[in-house]
Amino acid sequence: MPDVRIGVYVCHCGSNIADKVDCAGVAEFAGGLPKVTIARDYQYMCADPGQDLIRKDIKDHKLNRVVVASCSPRMHEPTFRKTLESAGLNAYFFEMANIREHVSWVTEGREQATEKAKALVAAAVARVFYHEPLYERFADMNKRTLVVGGGIAGIEAALKIAASGNQVVIVEKEPSIGGNMAKLDKTFPTLDCSACILTPKMVAAAQDENITLYTYAEVEKVEGYVGNFQVTIRKKARSVDMDKCTGCGICYNKCPAKVPNEFDEGLGMRKAIYVPFPQAVPNKPVIDRQNCTYFQKGKCGVCSKVCPTGAVDYAQEDQLVTEDFGAIIVSTGFETLDPTLGPQWGYGRYDNVITALQFERLVNASGPTQGKVVLKDGTVPKRVAVLHCVGSRDLNFREYCSRFCCMSSLKLAHLAKEKTGGEVYSFYIDMRAFGKGYEEFYNRVMEEGIHFIRGKGTEVIQRAGELFVRTEDTLLGKYREVPVDLVVLNVATVPRADAEKVAQTFGIQRSPDGFFLEAHVKLEPLKTATDGVFIAGGCQGPKDIPDSVSQGAGAAAEALSLIEAGKVKISPVVASVDEARCGGCKACLALCPYGAVDFDDEKKVAVVNEAVCKGCGTCAASCASGAMGVRHFTDEQILAQIGEVLAV
């Protein structure tokens, strides 16, 4: 090994580090460590003068290893690696000691902090001695993008990518795209009709020659890695030949089997062969085999008989197709909390307690009552209560705020007033009108004469046929029971029931609230732990329409920046096999969470697919013969580091 010459740079980070750590003292200490040629402390190592200092020292002092003691490598490791490269050194001859997050921000005494900083610097110096040059590689980028979930976020992402001339496939598990937004009547704060602003985008997606729609389809399996995903998609049997069907609607008009309509939140009925809603895209029916008389009892066949084009195909089977993609956008949306979980809200107990989405269907002209707000007995309610935060901001259910719930509750209150002309009560904890035009909308609704009661609607009871909402009115400082005819529960926004399965399929992590986890809460809201897999919309957390659209467009930009680069960088920090030592036990194959280890049947040894490997080290830790290792995390590097931390 040529003579090792290490440079150590201790950063003050303004006062962030220097307030707690004696930086000059640490630098002086580092100067006395073996193989250290030069050690300095400086105000801001990440600034240009700081980097210039390193470059100059590499030249003047012939340094071939560099240690920077500053912040978390998550922030500036790439910065300093580039500094080394620009000075002609391999980027991996660099090591970072984190004396900010791990020392100055969390240690109380100055003396203790300085001691800990010294220990971490000594460890980094010991480690960098063993560093080896590593080289990044590049793989080709497939230009096709998969969008999973055809709600407003997914549609927006697909349209933006398609506009750039690149190919997109939307996989939607329902028979139509549109998502939750398609169920809404009006949208806040402008009160424009939801369908009127959504359907043009749905139609545009269907007509765009760069977009392929797979509705009534689900992703089964994802293999490969960024730039080169192989995705298996199950196209569920629609029982209707999409090419022959003209969407005339005779089949569902004649179908005798009636089923509660999930699009109308169970309020109305649909047929067993159905189109979920009038503006569905594609506007072609599907047979719900569970509820179809022909499929359950073997007779009926009415739809087949009446179809003028012979499009009904009972023999159709699920189809599995595997396609290649370079990037994936997951926009699978959200659900709402099951209101029967809180019996105190009265849902399921009392007829006239409904959810916000049910109310949306009631006021919608294409809904089960053609837009009339009526009670179970068909009469118009004279008093309507809208309850905010049902299950949200509640440690018994969901701790988080459902974000758009205040504004949608205001909209529902407005619609209730408009449709019934009765008294409308809004029960809220705090009014969160945070967005553009939202406070103005709140003021407008207040002027409409809605009764705002600052108190959580904690309980709905029925007595002698009359409903009462119980609350502690925190403005009056009084307990109140408000008699009403209809209660609308704005229940919490929750992750979809299959979120865990979807997360596993795409290698996405979940935050404690169950939603999909972004790579960085502030700076990387659309990326995930898996390169090339992005998230957008309500699957990441409760979001209103403007936010979902922004995220859809943002995810498209993420995908396009990969596509336009044309290549993807593959990190050299991956596992590697010492073939001479590998016993071929295959233990690592089963343990690898990314499926990155294969087996060479001829040589009887494990083989690492470097493009898929994340360098997590699970295989190396489990390898009985010590054949598996992870580059840049070798035993001697880590043991040297640990040895120094414990020695000081």
Q: Using CB under 8 A, list all residues that contact other proteins.
A: 342-344, 349, 461-464
Give min distance, CB of 458 to other proteins, in A.
Answer: 12
User: Is the CB of 476 or the CB of 585 nearer to other proteins?
Assistant: 476
Integer Cα distance of 451 and 471 in angstroms: 14
| Contact assessment for residue 161 and residue 155, using Cβ atoms and an 8 Å cutoff | no
Give min distance, CB of 473 to other proteins, in A.
Answer: 17
Give min distance, CB of 343 to other proteins, in A.
Answer: 5
Integer Cα distance of 558 and 481 in angstroms: 51
User: Is the CB of 346 or the CB of 615 nearer to other proteins?
Assistant: 346
Which residue's structure tokens are 């009526």? 374
> What's the CA angle centered on 37, arms 34 and 39, to 5 degrees?
95
What single-letter amino acid sits at 461?
Answer: I
Integer Cα distance of 369 and 275 in angstroms: 18
User: Is the CB of 263 or the CB of 468 nearer to other proteins?
Assistant: 468
User: Is the CB of 481 or the CB of 635 nearer to other proteins?
Assistant: 481
| Contact assessment for residue 4 and residue 130, using Cβ atoms and an 8 Å cutoff | no
User: Is the CB of 380 or the CB of 461 nearer to other proteins?
Assistant: 461
Give min distance, CB of 260 to other proteins, in A.
Answer: 23
User: Is the CB of 350 or the CB of 452 nearer to other proteins?
Assistant: 350
User: Is the CB of 299 or the CB of 463 nearer to other proteins?
Assistant: 463
Give min distance, CB of 265 to other proteins, in A.
Answer: 23
User: Is the CB of 463 or the CB of 522 nearer to other proteins?
Assistant: 463
* Dihedral, CA of residue 370, residue 341, residue 337 and residue 523, to nearest 10: 160
User: Is the CB of 110 or the CB of 376 nearer to other proteins?
Assistant: 376
Helix then strand then coil, in percent of the chain rounded to 5, is: 30, 25, 45
User: Is the CB of 329 or the CB of 337 nearer to other proteins?
Assistant: 337
- Largest Cα–Cα separation, the chain: 92
Give min distance, CB of 464 to other proteins, in A.
Answer: 8
User: Is the CB of 297 or the CB of 463 nearer to other proteins?
Assistant: 463
Q: How many CA atoms lie within 13 A of 302 on its CB side?
A: 16
* Dihedral, CA of residue 462, residue 463, residue 469 and residue 474, to nearest 10: -150
User: Is the CB of 93 or the CB of 468 nearer to other proteins?
Assistant: 468
Integer Cα distance of 52 and 71 in angstroms: 18
Q: For the chain, give me the number of helices (H) and strands (E)?
A: 17, 34
| Contact assessment for residue 572 and residue 137, using Cβ atoms and an 8 Å cutoff | yes
Give min distance, CB of 515 to other proteins, in A.
Answer: 25
Integer Cα distance of 434 and 488 in angstroms: 23
Which residue's structure tokens are 């704060």? 189
- Choose among 20, 69, 66, 15: nearest CA to 43: 15
Taking CA atoms, 233 is separated from 221, 284, 328, 428, in Å, by: 7, 20, 13, 44
- Choose among 445, 486, 496: nearest CA to 173: 496
Mapping DSSP onto H, E and C, the string for 503-565 reads: HHHHCCCECCCCCECCCECCCECCECCCCCEEECHHHCCCCCHHHHHHHHHHHHHHHHHHHHH
Give min distance, CB of 377 to other proteins, in A.
Answer: 19
Give min distance, CB of 412 to other proteins, in A.
Answer: 26
Give min distance, CB of 124 to other proteins, in A.
Answer: 37
Taking CA atoms, 126 is separated from 82, 113, 298, 366, in Å, by: 22, 20, 76, 71
Integer Cα distance of 352 and 599 in angstroms: 62
User: Is the CB of 220 or the CB of 394 nearer to other proteins?
Assistant: 394
Give min distance, CB of 513 to other proteins, in A.
Answer: 21
Give min distance, CB of 54 to other proteins, in A.
Answer: 48
89 token code pair: 């050194």
Give min distance, CB of 355 to other proteins, in A.
Answer: 18
CB proximity list for 83: less than 8 A, separation 6 or greater: 51, 54, 55, 66
- Choose among 36, 42, 31, 49: nearest CA to 5: 36
